[in-house]
Structure 1
Amino acid sequence: MPTIAATVNQAASSAAPPPSAPSTSRRDALRNWALIVASVVALGALGVGWNTQQRLRVLEKELVKRQQDSQGEAAQALLLAKQAQDASREAGARVALLDARVSEAALQRTQIEDLIQSLARSRDENVVADVDAALRVALQQSAITGSTEPLLQALQQADDRLARYNQPRLERVRRALARDLDRVKAVGVSDLSSLTLRLDELVRLVDELPLLAATESRRAPSAAPRGASAPEAGASGASWNDHLVAWWDAWPVRLWEEMRSLVRVARVQQPEALLLAPEQMYFLRENLKLRLLNARLALLSRQYATAQADLRDAQAALERYFDPASRRVQVASELLKQVASQARQVSLPRPDETLAALAAAAAGR
């Protein structure tokens, strides 16, 4: 490619006229220089334009690239804004939830504080109510069982609890508890379990007790035959005639002794006791057992009057039909008397003073 200077020289040489004169050549030289300058200027303008065009293209490309980058960044910014908006909404929801939970926690805390204060205020009332309920239940159990043991244990437990609690306003209740405890301990109540065991022992002994009729029938005669050994005394040294004489002399005595053995005289306080037949003896023992069992059931049912009546009938039968000289009959009679003396109706004490003190403490007095 020819350069710009060669092109300009060629154009100038082709355009210049032949030198005819000095003036003409001078004008031609000026014209040539003007053309050269114009060509240089035009070429410079063309170069500047081309350079400017190249720069514009570069700038256009840069602008396009930047526009694309800005559009990408705008899209990314929109995505980030959307994400931020979603996060803001979620954060707002979480804040609202946290506010609700904080409000709920504050409400629960207020309720718990109120409950604690209520428990602190009602602690004395709860202790008083528990002791009162325990005493009333123990009183019912004592009335059912006929024993003071449930009431005694309830009073002791209440005293121990109040001693551990150590509240000055309940000292009046403790003093009332001590007085009621002494009063309950002083009351002697019959032990029904031991009484029923004694009656069971008596029922077992009935079959072993000797009857008066059977004892009298087994007793030996009051006198032994006398003179029966007279013939034998001299049997060794006497003759047959002497034996015969001795037997003849002794037979009236032996006959008299045999007749005396058929009849026996004795002093009996209850004559009907000797007239019992063997089958009547069996029914007598069974009737005595039934009397004792009825007395046992009456004691367990707290029917002391019925029990006393059955025990009196059993004692009368024992004294009338059984041998009073027998050791077993004496033991049975002693057991009957002990049971009859202990089977008494005893009014159970009520802890009224303690209940009144508890009511006063619950009322705040």
Structure 2
Amino acid sequence: MKPEHVEPPSITASTEPVADTPWLLRGVGVVAIIGAVGMGLMWSKLNGIQEQLALQSADTGSKAVEAKAASKQAEELARETAARLAVTDAKLSEVALQRTQLEELMQSLSRSRDENLVVDIESAIRLAQQQSQLTGSVQPLLAALNSAEQRLNKVAQPRLAPLMRAVTRDIERVKQAAVADTPNLLFKLDELVRVVDTLPLLNAVGAAAPKPKAPAPVPQTTWARAISMSWWEQVLADVWDDARRLVRVSRIDRPEASLLAPDQSFFVRENLKLRLLNARLALLARHFDVVRSDLAQATDDLVQYFDTSSRSGAATLVLAREVQAQSKQTELPRVDDTLAALTTAAAGR
């Protein structure tokens, strides 16, 4: 048997492209994905950097504000320090002045006893005179004169006898001087300010006491007519009561008080209190003309707008006139005789 002839397979050229395109596409996709992931990471990192920069910028701004506040505080501290230095310099000047005075006092100790006594009495009297002028009281001057009299009595020097007589005369003059009692006047002005809110006004409407209604007469009619008549009578009585309350008849001699609206009473009281307080300030400054002028106007307001016939109004008016009468300009007594005698004693005559 003959073996069959097997033809060798023929090699034919394939016209199809090589199957590597899907791998290329996959590679490109992987690269794209990696690029996208990288871009996302870069974007998130940039966002983080931006947030960090924003936080740092905010922190820098807050620190700048704090630095500005600290610089302002430092500037205020520097000003305060400068002020304290100025006060310290002033105190040093005072200390230097006091040191100079102490040195002069130590030098005066080397003088004779009589000369030292005359110098001490003169300085004490002049200082007391200044205190009396500042406070408006004669007590410092009187105390200095009494002290000088006691010291002169202890020394008992014939050469100082004229000085002793001058001091005695000035003591009597100071005791007889009439000076306004400022603390008492201030207390009275405070009392006037306190009672202004409780004073009754001339146009104040008092609450009228309700009058008991008279019982209506029982009509001699039927039961229905009796109910009807009592109802109409009740209505008419209420209308009549309301009509009577609409009109108030009173006698006011001053039309200004009647023309004053009830809601303006607050301003009247406040103006009166302000005038009294202004008088108090003027009294502290010893401007007695202003005190009397304000109290005169306050008295006119009391008479014009307030009920002075009442007990509280009359007492307030009397107190205001009393303060006005006591607020007089009084000249503080002078001690010219004592000062002249001190000058003569210091000159050795």
CA RMSD of the aligned region, Å? 3.2
Contact 1:295–1:311 (Cα < 8 Å) also in 2: yes
Residue identity matched to 2:216: P
Query: Which of 97, 120, 127 pairs up with 1:137?
Result: 127
SS in 2 for 1:135: helix
Query: Which of 146, 164, 188 pairs up with 2:136?
Result: 146
SS in 1 for 2:216: helix
For 1:313 and 1:119, how far apart are their aligned partners in 2?
A: 58
- In the alignment, structure 1 segments of 5+ residues that lack a partner are 1-117
- Change in CA separation of 1:218 and 1:175 when aligned onto 2, cut-off 3 Å: same
Residue identity matched to 1:286: E
Contact 1:190–1:344 (Cα < 8 Å) also in 2: yes
Query: Which of 295, 298, 303 pairs up with 2:279?
Result: 295
SS in 1 for 2:329: coil
TM-score by length of 2: 0.61
SS in 2 for 1:213: coil
Instruction: Describe how 1:198-209 pairs up with structure 2 within 5 A.
Output: 198-209=188-199
- Change in CA separation of 1:141 and 1:119 when aligned onto 2, cut-off 3 Å: closer
SS in 2 for 1:325: coil
Report the alpha carbon displacement of residue 348 of structure 1 after superposing the two structures with TM. Answer: 0.8
- The equivalent of 1:158 in structure 2 is 148
Instruction: Describe how 1:104-123 pairs up with structure 2 within 5 A.
Output: 122-123=112-113
For 2:309 and 2:129, how far apart are their aligned partners in 1?
A: 47
SS in 1 for 2:334: coil
Contact 2:279–2:291 (Cα < 8 Å) also in 1: yes
Query: Which of 267, 274, 289 pairs up with 1:283?
Result: 267
For 1:276 and 1:206, how far apart are their aligned partners in 2?
A: 17
SS in 2 for 1:182: helix
Residue identity matched to 2:203: A
- The equivalent of 1:320 in structure 2 is 304
- The equivalent of 1:188 in structure 2 is 178
Residue identity matched to 2:214: S
Contact 2:308–2:317 (Cα < 8 Å) also in 1: no
Contact 1:139–1:150 (Cα < 8 Å) also in 2: yes
Contact 2:199–2:306 (Cα < 8 Å) also in 1: yes
For 2:222 and 2:148, how far apart are their aligned partners in 1?
A: 103
Report the alpha carbon displacement of residue 229 of structure 1 after superposing the two structures with TM. Answer: 2.7
- In the alignment, structure 2 segments of 5+ residues that lack a partner are 1-107
More helix by share: 1
Are 1:229 and 2:214 counterparts? yes
Contact 1:224–1:257 (Cα < 8 Å) also in 2: no
For 2:112 and 2:222, how far apart are their aligned partners in 1?
A: 120
Contact 2:182–2:283 (Cα < 8 Å) also in 1: yes
- The equivalent of 1:357 in structure 2 is 341
- Change in CA separation of 1:229 and 1:292 when aligned onto 2, cut-off 3 Å: same
SS in 2 for 1:231: coil
For 1:204 and 1:323, how far apart are their aligned partners in 2?
A: 17
For 1:240 and 1:184, how far apart are their aligned partners in 2?
A: 97
SS in 1 for 2:252: coil
Report the alpha carbon displacement of residue 336 of structure 1 after superposing the two structures with TM. Answer: 1.0
Q: How many residues align?
A: 240
SS in 1 for 2:134: helix
For 1:347 and 1:150, how far apart are their aligned partners in 2?
A: 15
For 1:141 and 1:353, how far apart are their aligned partners in 2?
A: 19
- The equivalent of 2:167 in structure 1 is 177
- The equivalent of 2:97 in structure 1 is none
